[in-house]
Amino acid sequence: MKISIINGPNLNLLGQREPGIYGAQSFLDYFDTLKNRFPAVEFDYFQSNVEGEIIDALHNVGFSSDGIILNAAAYTHTSVGIGDAIKAIDTSVIEVHISNTFAREDFRHTSYITPHVKGIIVGFGLDVYRLAVESFLLK
Ligand code: DQA
């Protein structure tokens, strides 16, 4: 099983960025734990702060991966283009958010991603990525 993780803007700063909201662990550190936990899964990981690069990444893996875990970060709340890219590809996408976006500012309650994904997992810290992997493995 091949699972692709795509992270959007500012998630390269996990561990340093607002640790009270997003925790103190870097994503690459967490990613090592995730890979060790699921040795049978072939993971790839992409992060960008640029909207078009996230769309390109969805196109690149969206016809070959078995599942995509997407945290589009702030673009979740603004990007018609990322929503359209999810519609355009074959692979199922699970939308994840580290924080509980529904318990935060109103603008974070809107997602241009959610209508096009298989499901969403929000608010469990970095564990949202593990839960998304488990969900793909259930299939
Ligand atoms: C986030 C939530 C978004 O609202 C925010 O813009 C992020 C991170 C999360 O994982 O909790 O950058 O996607």
Q: Give the mutation target among 13, 27, 97 for probing the ligand 1 site: most ligand atoms within 8 A of CB.
A: 97
pTM above 0.95, yes or no: yes
Average pLDDT over residues 49-63: 98
69 three-class SS: strand
Question: Any residues with Cβ below 6 Å from ligand 1, and which?
Answer: 10, 71, 73-74, 76, 97-99, 101, 108
| Mean pLDDT over the full length of the chain | 97
**Rounded CA separation 106/108 (Å):** 5
SS3 139: coil
Q: Which domains does the chain have, with CATH numbers?
A: 2-138 (3.40.50.9100)
**Choice from 71, 100, 124 to test ligand 1 binding pocket (greatest atom count within 8 A of CB):** 71
pLDDT exceeds 70 at position 139:
no
Residue closest by Cα to atom 6 of ligand 1: 74
DSSP annotation of 77:
G
Q: How do residues 127-137 score in pLDDT, each as one tens digit?
A: 999 999 999 99
CA of 2 to the centre of ligand 1 (A): 25
The answer to whether the beta carbons of residues 114 and 95 sit under 8 Å apart is yes
Torsion angles phi and psi, residue 10, rounded to 5: 75, -5
* Predicted pLDDT at 2: 98
Between the CA of 63 and the centroid of ligand 1 the distance, in Å, is 26
